[in-house]
Structures are given as C-alpha cells and as structure tokens.
Amino acid sequence: MRWRSPPLPLLLLLPLLTPLVEGAKKSEFRICAFNLQKFNSAKASNSRVMHTLTRILSRCDISLLQEVMDPQGKAIKSLLAALNRETDRYENYTYKSLTSKSLGNDPEDMQQYVFIYKTETVSVLGQHQYQKKQSFVREPFAVEFQSPKTAIKKFILIPLHTDPKKVVKEIDQLYDVFMEVSKKWNNTNVMFLGDFHAGCAYMTRHDKKKIRLFKTMFSWLITDRVDTTVTEDTSCAFDRIVVHGQSFLKGIGPFSAKVFNYGAEFKLSHARVREISDSYPVEVKLKNSALLLQATPLLILLSVSAIVQSFLSAL
C-alpha cells in the first residue's frame, strides 16, 4: 500500500471546524447550585461579596441558591439589581428570580430556595411546593423550565438542602417528590440538585441501599470523590446533581458536571472565599439544540470527502 496524504476535502474542512466549536461554547447552557450560607440583607450589603457573586452567577443560565434567609426579599432584590447592572456592560441578559416561601421548623433558621435565571435563554412553565408534612425540614420547591436553546426542551429542577440529622431519609424521599411532579407535569426529565450533605459521615456507602435515588434510572453526575467544601480539612461531596432517565442523560454535556472553585478561578484569598460561603457551587451543562443541526452539513461533507477519497484510491 502506498502512503496517501489526507484527502484535500478534509483539509479544506478544518477551518470550518473552529467557528463551530466556538459557537457551541458560546451557546452552552449551564445550570448551577450554590449553598450561599445565610444569605441575608447583611451579606447582601457587602459589596465585595456581591461583586464576586455576580461573577459566579452570571456564568449560569439557571442558578439554584440555597440557605437564603430573606423573607422581605431585599437581599435577592439587590442581587438581581447587581446582576442586571453588572452584565449590562458585557452582555444583554436580564435576570429574574423565583423564590419559595420560608421553609423550616426553627423560627431562627427559616430558609428559602431561590432560582435565578436568564430570561433570554429560559422561561418558567410552572412551580410546585412539595407539601407532605413530616417529610422534609425544607420541602423541595420544584420548578419546570423551558428553553429553546437546549436539546431537552422542558425539564424539571427539584432542589434540596437536607437537614444534617435526616440526610438519608430526605434524599430517599426525593423519589416520592419525583413521582408527584413527573406525574403532575407529565415530564420525567427531572434533575435534583443542591446541598444534600451526601458525603462523609452524613451519607456513607452503606446508606446507599436505603436510598431509592440510587436505583439505576438515576445518574449521580457529581460523584463521591468530588470535594464541594471550601475548608482544607474536609473532602466531602455534599453538593450534588442527579438526573433521571436516559433521555435527560443524553441531553447533558459529557463530563460537564463539576464543582466550581471560584477562589482558584478568580484568584481570591481564603478569607474572601469564606466571606461568601463554606461550600463551592456545583454545575452541569445541557447540550445545545442547535449543535446537531449545525453539525449535520459538516457530517455530510465529511462523508462526501470519504467517498471521494475511496474513489481516488480506487484509481
């Protein structure tokens, strides 16, 4: 066999690949979950904290915030104002929020789940506060979203910030929430996310047998080996992202689920990092709906070039 140089059509295609990859990057869709550790008006009045927070959250199309203690809505209002102001300079996104009621058993420790999302890329179809008494300390506040940008058009996010004393029971009961909301909205594209305390002493390997979310139809995208805690002394995968079903899994960017170390990313001191939270956000990317369409002409060209190549070698 004689050595043949790569067929000309393939070489001509290479410059076409770069903008395709760039375009895909720009249009990626990111979902994030962040335990903000007592996010209240006092924290929101710290401009350093707010500046870093806007940098973190503006990376995400949807952010789920936990441990928000803002019954009057003042802290979230100023966070939204900062986000909408900050990004004016670079982009044209308008952020909105959707807040649950204050949840908990202790009047001193009532917390809200807050979703912040870009109105240009995603919209809210519905919301549902899980009600079953005695089930959770902070019952999940499920929201159904729709995005024209993503391969999965409609999906449901179910947040949970577990009570550290009831971790295994609460994670297990997410299965009941799944049954309720997937039926309510006729949609099994469900993602669970938040600070589950799903690691170290709170949830051991042995406990997994007792948790229905470890059945095969659920995929734990943030694995046990990940460290979502800020402190050097611990390495625990407390914050998690779990999806239901094969079709949702196929709509997720491969290996895109990760922890976002904003300290390392923005070169902040440990003290500055701790000012914001004791945990890092976790995130995942959804595949773009347009990617397949963009790729189709390319695939046709590649096949044509392969045919031409075999034709030439037959000569």
Minimum Å gap between C-beta 30 and ligand NAG is: 18
Q: Which of 102/188 has CB closer to ligand NAG?
A: 188
265 contributes a contact to ligand NAG by CB under 6 A = no
CB neighbour list of residue 98: distance below 8 Å, 6 or more residues apart: 114, 115, 117, 124, 127, 143
Which one, 153 or 208, has the nearer CB to ligand NAG?
Answer: 153
Which one-letter DSSP state was computed for residue 60?
A: -
- Taking the complex as a whole, how short is the minimal distance between the CB of residue 58 and ligand NAG, in angstroms? 13
The DSSP-derived string for 110-128 is: -BEEEEEEETTT-EEEEEE
* Candidate residues 131, 186, 216, 223; the one interacting with ligand NAG per rule CB under 6 A: 186
Torsion of CA 59, 65, 68, 71, to 10 degrees: 90
Length of the chain measured in residues? 315
CB of 87 to ligand NAG, least distance (A): 9
- Is residue 92 within the footprint of ligand NAG (CB under 6 A)? yes
Q: Which residues contact 93 (CB under 8 A, 6 or more apart)?
A: 58, 84, 87, 118, 119, 120, 121
Coarse DSSP helix, strand, coil percentages of the chain, rounded to the nearest 5 percent: 40, 25, 35
In the complex with ligand NAG, the residue whose CB is nearer, 22 or 91, is 91
Please, what is the minimum distance in Å from the beta carbon of residue 147 to ligand NAG? 17
Site for ligand NAG contains 72 (CB under 6 A): no
Give the H or E element holding residue 263. helix 262-266
CB 249 within 8 A of CB 243: yes
Alpha-carbon distances, residue 271 vs 230, 233, 268, 276 (angstroms) = 11, 15, 8, 9
Name which of 105 and 186 has its Cβ closer to ligand NAG. 186
Question: Which C-beta is closer to ligand NAG: that of 100 or that of 182?
Answer: 182
Nearer to ligand NAG, 84 or 102 (CB): 84
Write down the least CB distance from residue 168 to ligand NAG, Å: 32
Measured from the CB atom, is 5 or 186 closer to ligand NAG?
A: 186
# of chain residues touching ligand NAG (CB under 6 A): 3
* Two structure tokens written together for 98: 């959707």
Question: In the complex, what is the shortest distance from the CB of residue 120 to ligand NAG, in angstroms, rounded to a whole number?
Answer: 10
Ranges within 15-44 binding ligand NAG (CB under 6 A): none
- Lookup: tokens for 226: 């990940």
Complex with ligand NAG: residue 156 or 237, whichever CB lies closer: 156
Residue 99 CB, shortest distance to ligand NAG, in Å, is: 28
Nearest to 27 by CA among 118, 150, 145, 156: 150
Query: From residue 99, how far is each of 43, 94, 96, 193 by CA, in Å?
Result: 18, 17, 10, 16
User: Per-residue x/- mask for ligand NAG, residues 103 to 132, rule CB under 6 A?
Assistant: ------------------------------
Based on the shown chain and the rule CB under 6 A, indicate whether residue 91 belongs to the binding site for ligand NAG.
yes
> Could you tell me the smallest distance in angstroms from the CB atom of residue 91 to ligand NAG?
5
- Residues forming contacts to ligand NAG in the complex (CB under 6 A) are 91-92, 186
